[in-house]
Structure 1
């Protein structure tokens, strides 16, 4: 391409070389050094006057050095009279800090967007932002590319019997990404969600019995009714004034469409249809209950599976809870579903000032931190049928192993899945994440892209790791941006 220069940062020189090779170019020359005190120094060794400049720099383990290199390179090219400077960031740094998580927190992603604008960037190209709303942080156009077509093509070519697989989200915040891939492959999808066990110091059965016997009415109405009943006890009520009230039944059944119906509603309707002069109301209720028991179908209930999670691993139901004290060991363990349902009446939902529970970053990062607590116990729920099927656990990045291992063990040990693929766009692999995923017996394959640089030694030691190439996607995006063409075709799924 004429009048075009592509500069490579120190974070991803190999990816930049592949991009230039696909475009039939060579990377432009620049000198990136550091002073003894850690300051970054940049020297552009090629004329950039009236050129269309692209600077390729991704996030890396040395994230702050990579950001300063990018900002200084953009400023140097802008000062060298470049016609237009485009920042190509396969992995956008600080993308997980796109909102305030506390009243005195900082929106760091917006601050970085402002820094790029001050440096002189006129266009940004990135891949799979952690929060797509981040595009509103910039005053320049942003092309948020997706790795989904590349992942879908790899699945079709390398996964046997992929048409029978199930796409699973490991947290509620990633359901949109999972459903998008499931729709592209025309597959079913599922959901794994975790919740810290609450109310271990109270007896769930006692609470539920009190709730079942309590009718939700205003206190004044209850007092008025009790006074009227006491006054009416002295004299009998006329026969026509006595109203029949159906017996309360807490069990919920479903109709043919799967909608919940209380047996009390059906029994009361059946009582109203019956002739009171010819049939006893209690007999009618017994008949309707027997009919409901014969028509009850628990197929939907079988698609929801629960399990216990201690220190990030699935345990048996009779495994001792680490949170119980010595005095509580003599008390019978309450049912986890009962305790969760009971505590929901007393403990409010965890909603912070920063946002709701549908946030992807809170549902992923906070879960991984909670799994590290040895005294915490979680209840994990799998929604969807994965028995004897291949499972694709999908998210935008892999940083910590806790939630991935928990989801994989759940679908295998509880859901009886046949094979598990952990798929993400950005393989950050913080700490020993890659090594733990490699050691997990429930995970068969780990699929990521080369948007984030991974140490070659770690790649060689991980036999489960598969790295997909983004160079063709980024090269085509650069070419289309240079010639002013639409990038919409890059979002389409092209069949084999």
Structure 2
């Protein structure tokens, strides 16, 4: 297939019309040709150092120096270890582990860079904190996602880069630019390369809210889709499930934006097997895996549970062999590169960069 070479600034981006990644060797060869980007610093918070290093490796940058410590009374202390005057600063911090501590650390890092005369500060938040608290679903409930948006803006953030927000309206909580990237292209690539008989699969949403997500994937793969209607009595507890669609003798691919306690997707998988599915896979962008999640997955009927590395997964993979991880560092790295160079990021909504 024809390759279209587009030269922009100092970088060469190779686009393939079949949406596939280049080989690792080709990727390395192209990266070696790139010049170091001037006037940019990429810092890493303490939540996901591995992802930050992967992103910087693809950008051919070193992770900028910063000392992240806690005082004896648990206050967070941040020291920026190099000059950021006049620089574009990108701070990578995901919502995982000690979420409140990591959020506070991110806010302090943003403010420290801002008052150190950086040109602009962008927060790269692969998994956005408090994203499920995006509306008043009952009396006197807080809209915590809006509060987090306000805090990031007040701290000094000029730009937000995130991935697969739980609710897209969170972008409207900000008065600064927000790039909500999608893992869908990477998931599509994985399905085409790793799922047997994917042409005969059915894409399934575990709830009505994910219907738009699964129809998009189903259209891209040219396969059928189904959804499961669920009724909840309390958070993380599902009362009843009803399957809408036909999965008999087909591979069912459950797709959701996050997997937390995994109660919903495990019950959904059992429902699909009862309905005659020949195999069931789960695809979730953010693998939180809290509480009894690992035990539930080990006892589940899933062939595999595929997540991305927006959240660290090394320990989870050791505990549950069914968990597989897709690396999305190339998407975030390319978003940073394009943002820094003033280029459009729309290409990333439908393609996996090299």
1:390 alignment partner in structure 2: 251
2:209 alignment partner in structure 1: 173
The alpha-carbon deviation at position 403 of structure 1 amounts to 1.0
Distance 2:236 2:124 in 1: 31
Give the TM-score, by structure 1 length.
0.63
The yes-or-no answer on 1:111 pairing with 2:174 is: no
- The equivalent position to 1:407 in structure 2, one of 252, 268, 283, is 268
Measured on the aligned residues, the alpha-carbon RMSD in Å equals 1.6
The yes-or-no answer on 1:433 pairing with 2:293 is: yes
Distance 1:100 1:123 in 2: 26
CA contact 2:316–2:323 (8 Å) conserved in 1: no
Task: Give CA-to-partner distance per residue, 1:110-136, whole Å, 9 cap, x none.
Answer: 011001111100000000000001101
Q: Secondary structure at the match of 1:93?
A: coil
- The equivalent position to 1:467 in structure 2, one of 319, 325, 341, is 325
* Larger strand percent: 2
- The equivalent position to 2:307 in structure 1, one of 438, 443, 448, is 448
* CA 1:495–1:52: 2 relative to 1, 3 Å: closer
Q: Secondary structure at the match of 1:475?
A: helix
CA contact 1:32–1:41 (8 Å) conserved in 2: yes
CA contact 2:164–2:182 (8 Å) conserved in 1: yes
Distance 2:236 2:348 in 1: 36
Q: How many residues align?
A: 318
Distance 1:47 1:69 in 2: 19
Task: Give CA-to-partner distance per residue, 1:294-331, whole Å, 9 cap, x none.
Answer: xxxxxxxxxxxxxxxxxxxxxxxxxxxxxxxxxxxxxx
1:2 alignment partner in structure 2: 38
Q: Secondary structure at the match of 1:41?
A: strand
Mapping for residues 315-326 of structure 1, pairs under 5 Å: none
- The equivalent position to 1:370 in structure 2, one of 234, 237, 261, is 237
CA contact 1:58–1:452 (8 Å) conserved in 2: yes
Task: Give CA-to-partner distance per residue, 1:262-307, whole Å, 9 cap, x none.
Answer: xxxxxxxxxxxxxxxxxxxxxxxxxxxxxxxxxxxxxxxxxxxxxx
The yes-or-no answer on 1:486 pairing with 2:344 is: yes
Distance 1:412 1:30 in 2: 50
1:65 alignment partner in structure 2: 101
Mapping for residues 37-186 of structure 1, pairs under 5 Å: 37-186=73-222
* CA 1:18–1:402: 2 relative to 1, 3 Å: same
CA contact 1:368–1:401 (8 Å) conserved in 2: no
Mapping for residues 254-273 of structure 1, pairs under 5 Å: none
1:25 alignment partner in structure 2: 61
Task: Give CA-to-partner distance per residue, 1:185-242, whole Å, 9 cap, x none.
Answer: 11100011134xxxxxxxxxxxxxxxxxxxxxxxxxxxxxxxxxxxxxxxxxxxxxxx
Distance 2:246 2:260 in 1: 27
Distance 2:55 2:237 in 1: 40
Distance 1:54 1:396 in 2: 24
Which of structures 1 and 2 has the bigger CA Rg? 1
The alpha-carbon deviation at position 465 of structure 1 amounts to 0.7
* CA 1:94–1:27: 2 relative to 1, 3 Å: same
Distance 1:131 1:153 in 2: 24
Distance 1:10 1:396 in 2: 23
Higher RCO structure, 1 or 2 (CA under 8 Å, sep 6+): 1
Task: Give CA-to-partner distance per residue, 1:449-470, whole Å, 9 cap, x none.
Answer: 000123x333212111111001
1:417 alignment partner in structure 2: 277
The alpha-carbon deviation at position 494 of structure 1 amounts to 6.5
The alpha-carbon deviation at position 369 of structure 1 amounts to 3.4
Distance 2:272 2:241 in 1: 11
Distance 2:137 2:102 in 1: 25
The alpha-carbon deviation at position 434 of structure 1 amounts to 2.1
Q: Secondary structure at the match of 1:115?
A: helix
Q: Secondary structure at the match of 1:97?
A: coil
- The equivalent position to 2:49 in structure 1, one of 4, 8, 13, is 13
Distance 1:154 1:105 in 2: 39
* CA 1:367–1:178: 2 relative to 1, 3 Å: farther
